[in-house]
Amino acid sequence: MGDLLRIKNLSVDFASRNGGLPAVRDVSFEIGRGESLALVGESGSGKTVTALAIMRLLPRQARTSGEIFFEHTAIPDLPEHEMRHFRGERISMIFQEPMAALNPVLPVGEQVAEAVLTHGSTFFHRRKLERAVAWDRALEALRDVGFRDPQARARAYPHQLSGGQRQRVMIAMAIVNRPQLLIADEPTTALDVTVQAQIVGLLNALRQRFNLSLLFISHDLGLVSQLVNRVAVMYAGSIVERGSVRDIFRHAAHPYTRGMLGAVPTLRTDRSAPLRTIEGVVPSPAALPPGCPFEPRCESAERQCADAIPPLVEIGPSHYVRCPVAINQPPSAQKRVRSR
């Protein structure tokens, strides 16, 4: 079927007084039609910057290099007026905080309809019908995301809706023009566990119903396991491990991936003991170590890890890791994700 989105050697630097600050370094991945991929990692790992680079929504001080192809179209080379049609019509993005993304003085139905008027040119044949058609499309989208009375909800203002309802409105805006690729940037942040599960279930249902490709950005591995086919783990701007959900959750190889999995409580977790943590913090882009960026925090680090950034090496079918220690471990050791 071929790839819908292909990213190769993407790097993003932000201009500063001290030179460029690397936010994303040499990132490569693909998403096929109808496929789902999660970018996971701590805050500051470069996940959102990667998504904004795909949407061409980075600030002016950002400098990008590498390739971003949507089907056969090079996104970085598109004129801005063509890119506006790509956004919302072929690629849509759900942002992290719906209250900040929604206009507080407009009913939410008008905001969903505006997405149709701005991006959904294929739905219109006669100009005088545009507003009516856009409103009908907005109501249909609100119904698609689970509102039982879309007419009433469409006339509500953002502050009259709960956090979960506002996120559903954002999803309605994202799918109203039936895009091929949906980017969801931490869509469950600040929602309680029950609502998180509902939003993940909704995204999964919409993905299957409309054959959407999905790029899901999260730091929550529990949510990721329920939604995607493949996972790419990011740390300090780089992908350190990439593979299928089975690879990542059962055969994690990189020490950072193992640390993230070890910090997730399970039914077998001893509640009398403190949860495991990864000591230290993600390094600042202005002070990255010369070798592996995880080396200062890694319990398995060797001398070679501090010398140079390791390459991303395939250790199994479509399972890649950026760690010389993991590459040299026997398969039985790589499969031992949790010791508890």
- Per residue in 31-74, pLDDT tens? 999 999 999 999 889 999 999 999 999 999 999 999 999 998 99
Domain-ending residue, one of 154, 179, 204: 179
Identify whether 210 is part of a domain. Answer: yes
What average pLDDT does the segment 10-39 reach? 93
In this model, does residue 155 exceed pLDDT 70? yes
Is residue 218 domain-shared with residue 294, that is, in the same domain? yes
Tokens of residue 30, six digits: 């693909």
Bridge partners of 92, per DSSP, are: 182
Among the listed ranges 146-160, 168-182, 281-295, which one has the minimum average pLDDT value? 281-295
Q: Which two tokens stand for residue 85?
A: 């049609």
Mean per-residue pLDDT for 85-100? Answer: 89
User: Tell me, what's the pLDDT at 220?
Assistant: 85
The model's confidence at residue 99, banded by pLDDT at 50, 70 and 90, is: confident
Residue 285's CATH number: 3.40.50.300
Distance CA 233, CA 41 (A): 6
Q: Is the pLDDT of residue 139 over 80?
A: yes
pLDDT on residue 141:
97
What does the pLDDT look like over 203-237, one tens digit per residue?
999 999 999 999 999 988 888 988 999 999 999 99
Mean pLDDT of the chain: 89
- For residues 136 and 116, the answer to whether their CB atoms sit within 8 Å is no
Same domain, 319 and 229: yes
Looking at per-residue pLDDT, the higher value among 84 and 198 belongs to 198
Confidence tier at 199 by pLDDT (50, 70, 90): very high
Give residue 110's domain range.
Answer: 100-179
Q: Which residue has the higher pLDDT, 203 or 130?
A: 203
Find, among 252, 174, 255, the residue nearest to 215 by Cα: 174
Average pLDDT score over residue span 271-283: 81
Q: What's the pLDDT at 329?
A: 67
What is the distance between the alpha carbons of residues 94 and 224, in angstroms, rounded to a whole number?
Answer: 16
CA nearest to 292, candidates 169, 277, 282 = 282
Same domain, yes or no: 334 and 198: yes
Residue 202 and residue 194: Cα distance in Å, rounded? 13
Mean pLDDT (whole number) for 104-133: 78
| Exposed e or buried b per residue across 61-99, where buried means at least 16 C-beta atoms within 10 angstroms of its C-beta | ebebebebbbeeeebeebeeeebebbbbbbbbbbbbbbe
Question: Quick one: the chain helix, strand, coil %, rounded to 5?
Answer: 40, 25, 35
- Parallel/antiparallel/unpaired status of strands 62-70 and 73-74: antiparallel
45 and 188 assigned to the same domain: yes
**Residue 272 pLDDT greater than 80, yes or no:** no
Does 310 fall in a domain? yes
In this structure, the answer to whether residues 244 and 302 fall within a common structural domain is yes
Torsions phi, psi for 93 (to 5 deg): -135, 135
Yes or no: say if 189 and 12 are a contact pair by the CB < 8 Å rule.
no
pLDDT band at 277 (very low <50, low <70, confident <90, very high): confident
- Mention every residue, 6+ apart, whose C-beta is less than 8 A from residue 151: 139
Is residue 129 predicted with pLDDT exceeding 70? no
Same domain, residue pair 118 and 143 = yes
pLDDT of residue 97: 85
Domain count, the chain: 2
| Residue 67 token pair | 């390739």
39 and 187 share a domain?
yes
Q: Quote the CA–CA distance of 29 and 318 in Å, as a whole number.
A: 11
**Model confidence band, residue 124 (pLDDT cutoffs 50, 70, 90):** very low
- Give the percent of the chain with pLDDT over 90: 66
Tell whether 336 and 271 lie within a shared domain. yes
Q: Does one domain contain both 317 and 307?
A: yes
Q: Which of 155, 179, 203 is the last residue of a domain?
A: 179
Same domain, 187 and 308: yes
Q: Could you tell me if 311 and 199 lie in one domain?
A: yes
Q: Write out pLDDT tens, residues 243-252.
A: 999 999 999 9
Per-residue confidence (pLDDT) for residue 267, from 0 to 100: 64
Tell me the C-alpha distance between 260 and 245, whole Å: 14
In a domain, 92, yes or no: no
Phi-psi region of 43 (alpha: psi -120 to 50; beta: other; left: phi over 0): beta
Label residue 336 by pLDDT band (50, 70, 90): very low
CA pair distance 40, 239, nearest whole angstrom: 9
Q: What local confidence, expressed as pLDDT, does residue 128 receive?
A: 47
Are 4 and 42 part of one and the same domain? yes
Last residue of a domain, one of 179, 209, 238: 179
